[in-house]
Chains A and B, each alone.
Chain A
Amino acid sequence: MKPTSFLHGATEVAARNLIVWRRYAAASALGNFGEPLLYLVALGYGLGRVVPPIDGQSYAEFLAPGLIVSTVMYTATFEGTFGAYTRLTTQGTFDAILATPVTVPEIVAGEVLWGGIKSTFGAAVVLLVVTAFGLVPSPLALGTLGLGFVAGAMFYAMALCMSALSKSYEFFNYYFTLMVAPMFLFSGVFFPLDAAPRWALSLAQLLPLTHVVAISRSLVRGTPGPGIAVHAAVLLVYALAAYAAAALLMRRRLRI
C-alpha cells in the first residue's frame, strides 16, 4: 500500500466534519439564519429609522455586508473553539485519527478547510436573507462567498489556536470577550470607521475583521476600488499567520 498524501489526510478530516454536520444541518442553518435576521430587523429597520443615510445608503443597506462577514466570524469561531475543542478533548476524535496514517499537520489543515466550508455556508444563508430584503445592489456580492471561505478559514485558525492553548471551555470566555466581541463592534459593521478619531482608526486597522468588512462592503455595493487589494493582502497575511500558529500549537498539544 502506498501511504496517503497530505491532501488526502486533510480532505478526509474535513469530510468527517462535513458528514457529521449534514446530520445537524437544519439546526445549524437556523442559527445562521436567525441571528443576522434579528440584527437586521432591530438595528437596520428599528434603529435605522432614526439614523441618517450613510454614503447615500439606508442604515439597513449599510449594515448588510457587515452582517454577512460577522456571521462568518462567529460561525468559524464557535466551530474552532467549542467544536474543535470537543474533538480535541472529550470526544478524542483527533486521538483516534492520529492512530491512522493521518498526521497532526493534516488534521490542522483539514480542520481549517472545514472552518472555511462551514463559514461559506453561513455567508450564503445571510446573503440570501439580505438579498430577499432588497439590500444587495450588485451581483458582485456573490464574491462574499469566496471571501467567506478565506475569512472563515482565518477566523477558524485563530480559534484553533485558542483550543490548542485551552484547558477548559471557560477559557474561551476570554477570547470571546476580549477579541471577538470588540471585533464585532469596532470593525465597521455598525458604523463607518472614517468618522472615528485617527488613533481609533489605526487600532481598528489591526483587527482582521475590519479588512473583511471593507472587502464585503465594496463587493455588495459593486464598487471594488484599488483599496480592496490592500485589504485582501492583509487578510491573506493574517490567514497564513493564524494557520502557521495553529499548526504549531496543535502540534505541541497533540504530540505528547
Chain B
Amino acid sequence: MSTVIEASALVKRYADFVAVAGIDFRIDKGECFGFLGPNGAGKTSTMRMLQSVSLPSAGKLSVLGMDPVRDGKLIRTRIGVCPQADNLDPDLPVRQNLLVYGRYFPQPRAVTARRADELLEFVALGDKRDHAIPELSGGMKRRLVIARALINEPELLLLDEPTTGLDPQARHLIWAKLRELRTRGVTMVLTTHYMDEAERLCDRLVIMNEGKILAAGQPRELIEAHVGKEVFELGASAEEARAFLADVELGGAAHEHTGDVLAVFLGERSALSERLVERARHGGSRYLLRNATLEDVFLKLTGRELGE
C-alpha cells in the first residue's frame, strides 16, 4: 500500500509554547486516519502543517511525496481542506461559494461548474443552490464546507473536527457522506474529540495529548489493549466503593474511582461481571454494564482531570 503522509519527530513550536512535541505517524492511501485528543492536544497544529499553511519547526514531513516547506502550493492543489471554523463566504450564495473557491485552483471554469452541481447533489444541497449562507443550518453549512473541499477532486481530504457542534441527525448524515467518500478511495485525515466519531470512521487513529502521541492503532485494538471488552460502572461514593470492592473478588481486574462513579474494566464477559451485577442489584445501587469504548481508552491515557 502506498504512503500518502509520513511524519517523523515532527515538532511545531510557537513563541511561548510547544504545540506538537515530536510525533511520528504514517498514513496510507485510501485509509481514514484520525487524530484524537482534547482541545489543545496539537491536532489542529498538525493539520495546519499537513496543509502546509504552517511550517514545521523541526522533524520530517512528507505529504503526497512532497515537502510542505518547498512544495506547499503543489500540495494544496491536490488536497481538500475542511477547516474547523466555518469560513464559508457569507457574501456569496451557496453555489457561488463553490464556483469562487474553484477559481483558486488550476481547473477550467466549466469543470468547476459541473463539479459544483454534482457536489451540491452529493451533499444534499441541490435545492439550496441560490440560498444565502446565513439561511443555512449548522449541518448544511458543514456539508457545504465538505463540498467546497472536494471542488478540486482531491486525493487527500483533511477534516478538522467535521461534526463539532452539530445535532445527531446532522452528524449521521455527514458520517454517511464521509464513508461514501472513503469507499470511493479518497484518503481522509480527521481530527475529533468525539470518540464515537473516531470509532465509526477511522481505520486507524492516534490519541494525542499535550503535543504527544499516547497510543496508535485500530480503534478495537486500542480498546482491547488498554481497557478490555466491557466496563462495569457503579454509582458510589468513595466509602461505598471501598465497601463494594471488599465484598467482591476482583481477581486483578483494573478499577478506578472518580467523582461518584466506580468503574471496573473487564477483559471478557465473565463470571466476574455477573458477580458484580448481582452484588449491585442486591445492594440496590445504580449500575451499568456496557461495552468498552475509545472514550475509556482516552480517559485512561490522559487522566480524568480537565486539561485546561
Do the two chains belong together in a single complex?
Answer: yes
Find B78's partner among A1, A12, A16, A103 (CB 8 Å cutoff). A1
Partner of A8, one of B53, B86, B91, B106: B106
How distant is the Cα of A8 from the Cα of B89 in the complex, in angstroms? 20
Identify the stretch in A36-44, A91-99, A132-140, A241-249 within 8 Å (CB) of chain B at 4 or more residues. Answer: A91-99
| Nearest-neighbor residue (CB-CB) of A99 within chain B | B81
Q: Does B96 contact A (CB under 8 A)?
A: yes
User: Can you list 29 A-B contacts (CB < 8 A)?
Assistant: A1-B77, A1-B106, A2-B106, A3-B74, A3-B77, A4-B73, A4-B104, A8-B106, A12-B104, A16-B100, A19-B92, A19-B100, A91-B87, A92-B86, A95-B83, A96-B87, A96-B88, A96-B101, A98-B53, A99-B53, A100-B101, A100-B104, A100-B105, A101-B76, A101-B104, A102-B104, A255-B54, A255-B55, A256-B54
By a CB distance below 8 angstroms, the chain A residues around B100 are 15-16, 19
By a CB distance below 8 angstroms, the chain B residues around A98 are: 53
Please name all residues of chain A whose beta carbon is closer than 8 Å to the beta carbon of B78 when the two chains form the complex.
1
Contacts of B103 in A (CB 8 A): 12, 15-16
Contact (Cβ within 8 A) B76 A99: yes
Please indicate the chain A residues that have their CB under 8 angstroms from the CB of B53 in the complex: 98-99, 255
Min CB distance B40 to A, Å, is: 15
Q: In the complex the two chains form, what is the Cα distance from A93 to B101 in whole Å? A: 10
Q: Does A23 contact B (CB under 8 A)?
A: yes
A9 sits at the interface (CB 8 A):
yes
A2 to B74, CA, bound (A): 8
- How many B residues are at the interface, by size bracket? 20 to 34
Closest B residue to A97 by CB, please name it: B104
Whole-angstrom distance between the Cβ of B105 and the nearest chain A Cβ: 6
A195 on the B face (CB < 8 A):
no
> Does B192 lie at the interface of the complex (its beta carbon under 8 Å from any beta carbon of A)?
no
Which residue of chain B lies nearest to A104 when distances are taken between CB atoms in the complex?
B53
Contact residues in A for B90 (Cβ distance below 8 Å): 91
Chain A residues lying within 8 Å of B107, measured Cβ to Cβ, are 1
The interface size bin for chain A is 20 to 34
Most buried by B among A15, A92, A98: A98
- A20 an interface residue at 8 Å Cβ cutoff? yes
Complex CA gap A256/B73 in Å reads: 17
On chain B, the residues within 8 Å of A3 by CB distance are: 73-74, 77, 106
Chain A 85-117: CB-based contact to B (< 8 A → 1; otherwise 0): 000000111011111111100000000000000
Contact A19 B96 (CB under 8 A): yes
Tell me if B73 and A103 are in contact (CB < 8 A).
Answer: yes
Interface SS majority for chain B: loop
- Which residues from B are CB-within-8-Å of A91? 87, 89-91
Q: Which residues of B contact A95 (CB under 8 A)?
A: 83, 85, 87
Residues 138 to 165 of chain A near chain B (Cβ within 8 Å): none
B284, chain A: closest CB distance, angstroms: 54
The reply on B187 being an interface residue by CB < 8 A is: no
- Residue from A4, A15, A93 in contact with B87 in the complex, judged by beta carbons closer than 8 Å: A93
B51 is an interface residue with CB less than 8 A from chain A:
yes
Bound Cα distance A9, B101 (Å): 11
A26 → chain B closest CB, angstroms: 15
CB distance from A103 to the nearest CB of B (A): 7
Within 8 A of B (CB), among A49-103: 91-93, 95-103
Chain A residues with Cβ below 8 Å from B83 are: 92, 95-96, 99
Residues in A with CB closer than 8 Å to B105 are 1, 4, 100-101
A4 proximity list for chain B (CB < 8 A): 73, 77, 104-106
B91 surroundings in chain A (CB, below 8 A): 20, 23, 91
**With the chains together, A20 CA to B91 CA distance in Å?**
6
> For A96, what are the chain B residues with a Cβ–Cβ distance below 8 Å?
83, 87-89, 101
C-alpha spacing A3/B83, complex, angstroms: 22
Measured CA separation A151–B86 after assembly (Å): 35
Q: B residues 42-73 with Cβ under 8 Å of A? A: 51, 53-55, 72-73
B69 to chain A, nearest CB (A): 12
Least Cβ–Cβ distance between B66 and chain A, in angstroms: 11
- A19 to chain B: which residues have CB within 8 Å? 92, 96, 100
A99 touches B73 (CB 8 A): no
Please, which residue of chain B has its CB at the minimum distance from the CB of A2?
A: B106
User: In the complex, A19→B107 CA distance in Å?
Assistant: 19
Which residues of chain A come closer than 8 Å to B86, judged between CB atoms? 92
CB distance from A28 to the nearest CB of B (A): 13
Q: Give chain B residues whose Cβ lies under 8 Å from the Cβ of A8.
A: 106
Q: Which A residues are CB-close (under 8 A) to B149? A: 99
